[in-house]
Structure formats: C-alpha cells, structure tokens
C-alpha cells in the first residue's frame, strides 16, 4: 500500500475540527504544506502563529489553487456559499471532502453548485469534538481511536475515497463507510437529538423564576448531561435545519415517550416507570462500554 502524501492541504475553516486535522496530519508526517482559508484574517493569523497552518488566504478561490486535498470545515449553512466561491478553481485531481454532521444536505449543496456531483468529492464526518471552539482548542489527538464516517455518493471515485479514508486513518481514526441518508438517520438519533434535549433543558431551567438556585444546586449528573449545551449554537442551528428530515421523527418519537412517562408519574404507575428505567439501564450497559 502506497504511503499517503498530501502535498498541499487546504482547510477552509480552521477551528477545532479543521485545526485538529491539520495538527494530526502534521504529527503523522503525511502533509507537506497546510494552507488555511476563511473570512476572518485575525483568526487565520492566530492559526498561523500557533503553527497549525503554514500560510493563509481570505480569498477561497486563491487558497484552493494547487491543493490536492481540500477540506470544508465550515458550518453546514455555509457549505453552498463556500462551494460557489471555489467552483472552477479546483485542480482536476483535487480531492474535496468535508466534516459536516449531516451528509445529505452537503451532497445536495454540491449538486446545486456544480450542476453534478464531482467524482473527487467524498463527504465525511468525524465523530469527535469537544464543547470548546476555535483553533486554540484544537489538538492533534482529537481523532485517535474515534470513528470517522465516510459517505461517498454514487459517482465518487474509488481513488478519492481511499485517499480520504487514508487521511483520517493517519490521524488515528477508525474509518467506516456508510450511505449518506443512513448516516443522517443514525446521527439524528445519537448526536443531534441529545444536543436538542440539552439545549432545551438548560433553556427551560434558565427561564424559571428560581433559575439561579436551580443552577447553584445542580449536581454532577446535570452538568454531565448538559455539557453539550455549551457547544456552538450557530453550528447546531445549522445542523438542526440541515438534517430536519431525519431529526423531526426522532424528536416526535421522544416527545411521545416523554408524554407517556409524564402520564405514568402523574398516575403513580410504578410498574411502567420501573420498566422504562430498567430497560434503559440494560440497554446502556449492553451498548456502551464507558
């Protein structure tokens, strides 16, 4: 197997995810040059000062010229705008990928912008992150022993697919391939729904009359569950809208189940309550190792 070599990596959006990718690939010794791109020059200068990127450019079209791998690490709501700006400036053999948390929307954006799905376009999604944001929060080990889902479209070139997989494997990730729509259904349940619940819970409690006392006495379980509500609200706003087709059904399912639990508590239905809690514990113990 030929060793992965990325001569020029262009990361559009050098934050936690994009910055950590650059750091990891540097650590692995598989990238020769990293150029950062985005609208915020001060942010890019900071990434350069930290050694995350070699050079930067606020003109996205100029930034992608000559790059053999381009990673779109921007919010889902910005994907179409970014693709429009780089259209026509990609090298014929350049591999284009992304890190978005919803894949069908990104594929639709590419279809809209390019008029077809480029054969070297391979969507991806690293299942990794923290509640911290920005390039200062990036670190090379973020992807080690974490899942990265690659979701090629029907026309994706095998060589491009393999290069994207090899890139993430060089970061220490466990790479799996999945159908884009199936990815969105799975992530709606396992990632997007928990974030919606955490945001809503914190918002509800914060608007109660005795909110200060509520948060003063919040125990560890509350802090653990709501930690993800400290994530970037703009990013999660975009995810919520981009994956609404898959997210709405699981939100409605959860709402139905919550109403049933509320009714059981109201009635003092001990058997129903214990059954739910026992079944949930058994499922958590079976499927989760931590």
pLDDT at 184: 97
CA dihedral 91, 30, 26, 171 (to 10 degrees): 100
pLDDT value of position 226:
85
Query: Helix 244-267 crosses helix 233-242 at what angle (to 10 degrees)?
Result: 100
Query: How high is the pLDDT of residue 290?
Result: 62
CATH 3.40.50.720 boundaries in the chain:
6-178
What are the CA-CA distances from residue 65 to residues 9, 23, 71, 154 (Å)?
Answer: 11, 22, 13, 26
What is the greatest pairwise CA distance in the chain?
67
Residue 1 confidence (pLDDT): 45
Mean pLDDT per block of 10 residues along the chain (290 residues) reads 85 96 97 96 96 97 97 96 97 96 97 97 92 88 96 96 97 97 96 94 87 80 85 92 96 97 97 95 85
pLDDT of residue 131: 74
For the domain covering 183-287, report its CATH number: 1.10.3660.10
pLDDT of residue 2: 53
Cβ–Cβ < 8 Å for 96, 123: no
Scanning the structure block, which residue is given the tokens 């910005």? 78
Homologous superfamily, domain 6-178: NAD(P)-binding Rossmann-like Domain (3.40.50.720)
Location of each CATH 1.10.3660.10 domain in the chain: 183-287
């Amino acid at each position: 197997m030929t060793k992965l070599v990325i001569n020029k990596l262009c990361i559009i959006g050098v934050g936690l995810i994009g910055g950590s990718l650059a750091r990891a690939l540097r650590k692995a010794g598989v990238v020769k040059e990293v150029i950062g791109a985005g609208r915020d020059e001060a942010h890019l200068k900071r990434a350069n000062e930290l050694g995350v990127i070699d050079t930067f450019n606020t003109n996205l079209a100029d930034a992608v010229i000559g790059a053999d791998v381009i990673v779109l690490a921007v919010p889902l709501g910005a994907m179409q705008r970014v693709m429009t700006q780089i259209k026509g400036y990609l090298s014929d053999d350049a591999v284009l990928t992304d890190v978005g948390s919803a894949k069908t929307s990104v594929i639709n954006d590419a279809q809209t912008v390019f008029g077809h799905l480029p054969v070297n376009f391979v969507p991806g999604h690293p299942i990794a992150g923290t509640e911290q944001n920005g390039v200062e929060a990036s670190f090379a080990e973020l992807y080690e022993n974490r899942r990265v889902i690659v979701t090629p479209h029907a026309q994706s070139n095998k060589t491009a697919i393999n290069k994207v997989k090899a890139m993430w494997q060089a970061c220490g990730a466990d790479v799996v391939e999945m159908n884009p729509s199936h990815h969105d259904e799975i992530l709606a349940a396992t990632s997007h729904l928990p974030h919606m619940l955490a945001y809503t819970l914190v918002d509800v409690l914060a608007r109660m009359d005795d909110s200060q006392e509520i948060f003063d006495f919040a125990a560890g379980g509350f802090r653990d569950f709501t930690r993800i509500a400290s994530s970037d609200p703009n990013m999660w706003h975009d995810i919520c809208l981009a994956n609404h087709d898959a997210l709405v059904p699981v939100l409605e399912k959860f709402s139905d189940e919550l109403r049933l639990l509320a009714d059981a508590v109201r009635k003092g239905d001990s058997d129903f309550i214990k059954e739910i809690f026992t079944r949930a514990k058994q499922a958590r113990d079976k499927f989760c190792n931590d």
